[in-house]
Amino acid sequence: MASLQKKFVFFSLLKLCMILVVSSRGAVYTPPNVERVTDQFSRISVNQGYNVFYGGSNIHLTNNGTSVDLILDKSSGSGLVSKNKFYYGFFNAAMKLPAGFTSGIVIAFYLSNTDLFPHNHDEIDFELLGHEKRRDWILQTNLYGNGSVSTGREEKFYLWFDPTQDFHDYSILWNSHHLVFLVDNIPVREVIHNAAISSVYPAKAMSAYVTMWDGSQWATHGGKYPVNYNYAPFVASLRGIEMEGCIVQTKDSATACSKGSVSSLTDPVDGQEFAKLSQEQTTGLEWARGKHMFYSYCQDNSRYKVLPPECTAK
């Protein structure tokens, strides 16, 4: 009898631990089916698309250059920058993130032109933030246009999968109609280009970047939970690179651009199929935001006494 009681207590505790683990990661939801936008564009190797941005010794090409490991250790972070600058386009990175205690680590996949326009730059950000308490990764999106950095337009999400176990696609669709952030082809955020946001809508040619860095001061409440280098090196793996848009050769985004080697004045993501979300994509967007978004600047009345105009636009 005592043996049976011990077994009962053991399995009860095991069940409780499993419940706590699941609850600490949040409820598990099955994502809706959506069309695969990533299938509409070609994947390229790392060397085809990117140059070293910084931390060259912490950048290791793998699988004959089709993938790459970005490393953060006590000596340095690491980063890549696209060989070309793009005026509108579709950009994808499939990433697998480091597991374990990742507080303070920031992995960013973003577009920016701060090198050309230091005082009025544009930026479109995916930022994956190592979390100090849950040991989960947090997804943050943000954007700036014409140097509008005084107004943060952040939105934050819990992911519906473990990003450390496999590769997942993070995509940016940017054209004159709207800006869409997608995770595994599911839209998580859409910024419609309308009059309310027009003055700060990213609209100049940008480079694509992928970086891994120590964001302890910025990402953990002024360094409250800094990167613990006892767990280093931290490795993020990258593959599934897609970047297709108008390649700009000069600082003036309005000049002729080219799609690959074919001269073109047409944005390759400006067709009707990219002008607005489909019904499936809209359903996916509502699912992602309803189930997984836990912060939006448009709901932050303590931060903004008067919300930015796009938050209240109809």
Active-site residue set: 123, 127
- Which DSSP string do the residues of the chain spell out, in sequence order? -HHHHHHHHHHHHHHHHHHHHHHHT----PPPP---GGGGS--B-HHHHEEEEE-GGGEEEEGGGTEEEEEE-SS--EEEEEEEEEEEEEEEEEEE---S--TTEEEEEEEE-TTT-TTS--EEEEEEEE-SSS--EEEEEEEESTT-TTS---EEEE-SS-TTTS-EEEEEEE-SSEEEEEETTEEEEEEE--TTTGGGS--S-EEEEEEEEE-HHHHTTTTTS---GGGPPEEEEEEEEEEEEEEE-SS-TTS-EEETTEEESS-TT-SGGGTS--HHHHHHHHHHHHHHEEEEGGG-TTT-SS--HHHH--
